[in-house]
Structure formats: structure tokens, C-alpha cells
Amino acid sequence: MLKTSPLSGIYRNHSVKLTEVSGWQIAENFGNQERESEHLKNDSVLIDWSHIGKISLSGGDAPKAAEQVFKGTSKLEPLKTLAKQDMAVLCLTRNDYLILCQPGMETKLLEIIDPKITTVTDQTGSQGCIVLGGPRRDEVLLRSTAVDLRRDKVVAGSVLQSSIHTVSMTLYRTKNLDIMLHPRNLSESLYDALMDVGIGLGLVPGGIATVPVSFEEGK
């Protein structure tokens, strides 16, 4: 059986080219990859990364558990992150972490983490992940949240728990992307609202061929 993105309903309204990644059926592009790349360069693009692995560590000795998968993360200050190409560890509070990883990699990580020292929850299926890229993505966010997300305030490599279009989420900012992790059941609403404000700002939906999953550019 295939795993489907919470945006599968959106896919049906576009000429999406689907691809299979680690059992997930995900959008490779929304019909015109050249156009998506152009928008990524000049305007803004919204990508569905719902298939990335997401593991939460909460309570107990969460820093120790985080350290088991990524060295150095136990020393992270809250709202800071540590990332490499295939994984990012987001420190939400002193004792709450969210680990993002390449699709399918979460199974391996779950085997490494000792569930006795913290509450380990695989959030891969319960959370959607929408990514904004492109130079005009700040303008989209300016129409989307009452939170001050200016780049001198929320620098690349930061993570914050925020609300965008009234949807509570974890926002992870990298140099070129804003990664929004949110409840799966609100994914389509969030997509609708972002695309709605993105009219006139050159926002188009894009696939993972336009912005492949990578967490490398942390700072």
C-alpha cells in the first residue's frame, strides 16, 4: 500500500507528476518543472515535503536521546537547530526535540533512540510539511502571520512554534527555505490560504524535483 500526502486532494486539481519515495506517493512536479524553477529563482514556490521523516522526543532525557542520533544536539539552546544533508535536529524547548530526516530514514533512527529515556513519537504521518522557497517567500509570510518573521529577527537556522493562517506549527528557517511542520489534518487549509495570499506574489506549487529534500544549509 502507498502512503499518501495530506495534499493528495490538491494534487488532483493539478497535472501533477507523481513519484514514489520510500513508499510515499509525492509530487515530483506540478506539470511544468521549468516554470517552477523559474519561480524558485525569481518569485516563490510552495513544495510538499510531507513525506520527510519526523520524530519527536519529549520529556525524560530528550537531549541524551537527540545526542544518540546527532552528536552535539544535546548542547543546543531552545529554538536553535543543527543540520546536515540528511537530517536536522530542532531543539524546541530544553526537553523537546523534533528530528527531521530524509524520507524512510525515520525507521532507522527509531531503532537507534532508546525509548526508555524519553517519549519517542513517530510524527511522520501525523504532520504535514509545506516548504516555501524563492526570493518572494517573505512577502507571502508577511500576508500570512502576525508574527514578526523578519530575517534579522528570525535568522536562518532558527526554529519557532508559531501560527500561520491560524494553523499552529513549527517553523524551521534555513537560508533558502521556510519549512512549516503542521497538523496533517490542516494541510490542505494551510495550502489554500498560502496560495490565496500568494496570488500576485508569483507563488506556484512545486514538486520535490524543484526543491529536493535537503537540510544541509542550516545557517
Binding site for other proteins (CB under 8 A): 1-4, 6, 8-9, 12, 24, 59-60, 119, 121-127, 142-146, 148, 150, 153, 165-167, 183-190, 192-193, 196-197
Taking the least distance from each CB to other proteins, the nearer of 36 and 139 is 139
User: CA 196, CA 66: separation in Å to the nearest integer?
Assistant: 37
CB of 45 to other proteins, least distance (A): 19
Taking the least distance from each CB to other proteins, the nearer of 127 and 174 is 127
Q: Pseudo-torsion of CA 97, 170, 210, 204, nearest 10°?
A: 170
For residue 68, how many other CB atoms are within 10 A of its CB? 17
Taking the least distance from each CB to other proteins, the nearer of 102 and 127 is 127
Taking the least distance from each CB to other proteins, the nearer of 83 and 180 is 180
CB of 80 to other proteins, least distance (A): 22
Nearest to 114 by CA among 75, 68, 58: 68
CB of 59 to other proteins, least distance (A): 7
Strands in 1-86 per DSSP E: 3-4, 17-21, 24-29, 44-48, 53-58, 81-84
Nearest to 7 by CA among 40, 49, 39, 45: 49
117, containing H or E segment: none
Taking the least distance from each CB to other proteins, the nearer of 3 and 80 is 3
Q: In the chain, helix, strand, coil percent, each to 5?
A: 25, 35, 40
CB of 157 to other proteins, least distance (A): 20
CB of 114 to other proteins, least distance (A): 13
